[in-house]
A and B are shown apart, each in its own frame.
Chain A
Amino acid sequence: AQTVTQSQPEMSVQEAETVTLSCTYDTSESDYYLFWYKQPPSRQMILVIRQEAYKQQNATENRFSVNFQKAAKSFSLKISDSQLGDAAMYFCAYGDDKIIFGKGTRLHILP
């Protein structure tokens, strides 16, 4: 069965610095999708980034980028120039016929 592991329950980063959130997954599939969702204090779940496994190029959305290592089954999220509004719970998710979420990493931004 597919699993998603986020090994860092909490992280902190200084405002304007760069932080990387780690995510590993386990699957025997070759065609799948990976996601990062953000949950700010408002509780709303918001898509940050989506990666298609068959694409080698790492997805990027403004200050958010991923490091997708398919062989290592790793999908880390890098946030550059961290801002106070980035403070949230971040969920990594794996999807093929269904979607599975990791347990989340709570990110604190220090002013």
Chain B
Amino acid sequence: EAQVTQNPRYLITVTGKKLTVTCSQNMNHEYMSWYRQDPGLGLRQIYYSMNVEVTDKGDVPEGYKVSRKEKRNFPLILESPSPNQTSLYFCASSLNGYRSGANVLTFGAGSRLTVL
């Protein structure tokens, strides 16, 4: 089944404890992206990647890191989480990196992160 898989689905952590949210897609998609969803704010892009070894900042990159060493994987790293990073996180992918906004996004199931 074609899908985007992200883990963990739920996580409660404490301020300053490094964590990684993994994201993997099995569709050979070039484009991958991370979003955070907060009430009243919709989905905001954190980072995106147009292909392997190519990553760029989205609208809210502060406090996050990403890497794209393999085409299928795009982990989101919170080096020192803070309570304002408590949110619902989505990984998404689409076929092409060029004109990525033209393509339908396939989303993961979401990861609910709470930072105490």
Contact = CB atoms under 8 A, between A and B. Distances in A.
B105 interface: yes
Contacts of A47: 104-105
Interface string A87-111: 0000100111111111110000000
A35 interface: yes
A50 interface: yes
Interface string B92-103: 100000011111
A24 to B, nearest CB: 14
Nearest to A9: B40
Nearest to A32: B101
Interface of A: 9, 32-33, 35, 37, 42-45, 47, 50, 91, 94-104
B102 A43 contact: no
A95 B42 contact: no
A101 B105 CA distance: 12
Interface string B35-47: 1000011111100
